[in-house]
Homo-oligomer: A and B are copies of this chain.
Amino acid sequence: MTPDAPHLDPEQLAAYFALTDVGSLLQYAVEQQLREDGDLSSVQFQIIARLTGAPSGRLRMTDLADGIVYSRSGLTYQVGVLEKAGLVVRGTGPDDERTVVVSLTAAGRDRFFQVLPGHVEVVRRLLVDPLDRSDLATLRSLMDRVLTHMRAAPPRSARPRPPRKPSA
């Protein structure tokens, strides 16, 4: 019985493990490729990718932070690394003196396109090749549904915490 105890049946667990295994293997492969081809971490690549896709290659720190990093200081650190590498420059925003606008340099854009082909190839080889077009559409639809649900629900609701027994 134990009707209150949360549990997952083997089918649900298997789906979860399969998803996380794919996720971590894919992430590891991508990280390797980005490091080898362009000396970038995946966070740094994401920042550059966003800037590449932004109008005139500039974004405010706050806009950059969104899905990429979980703390402001983390973003400051990463943008600092990119700036030291000459891939990005920081300047004060025109409207609001508090904001900092991050701009992609020519070197930054070059680096992005230097790394992109290998990145695409890794994704293709590991994820796209083994699935056909309709599989990918299905996968996307499932993941989109999960994302919608995640974003609707409060990220960390008031979950009753079990008693913290020992400390370590």
Q: Which of A57-65, A95-103, A134-142 contacts B (4 or more CB under 8 A)?
A: A134-142
User: Which residues of chain B have C-beta atoms less than 8 A from A126's C-beta?
Assistant: 146, 149-150, 153
User: Is there an interface contact between B23 and A19, defined as CB atoms closer than 8 Å?
Assistant: yes
User: Is there an interface contact between B147 and A107, defined as CB atoms closer than 8 Å?
Assistant: no
The residue of chain B having its C-beta at the shortest distance from the C-beta of A18 within the complex is B143
Q: A86-B168, A138-B142 are in contact. Are A120 and B6 (CB under 8 A)?
A: yes
User: Which residues of chain B have C-beta atoms less than 8 A from A86's C-beta?
Assistant: 166, 168
Q: For the complex, is A76 an interface residue (Cβ under 8 Å from B)?
A: no
What is the copy number of this chain in the assembly?
Answer: 2
Could you name 29 residue pairs across A and B whose Cβ atoms are closer than 8 Å?
A8-B128, A11-B136, A11-B137, A12-B128, A15-B140, A16-B128, A18-B139, A18-B140, A20-B26, A22-B143, A22-B150, A23-B24, A23-B26, A25-B147, A25-B150, A29-B155, A32-B156, A36-B161, A37-B164, A39-B167, A39-B168, A85-B166, A86-B166, A110-B166, A111-B166, A118-B162, A129-B149, A131-B145, A139-B139
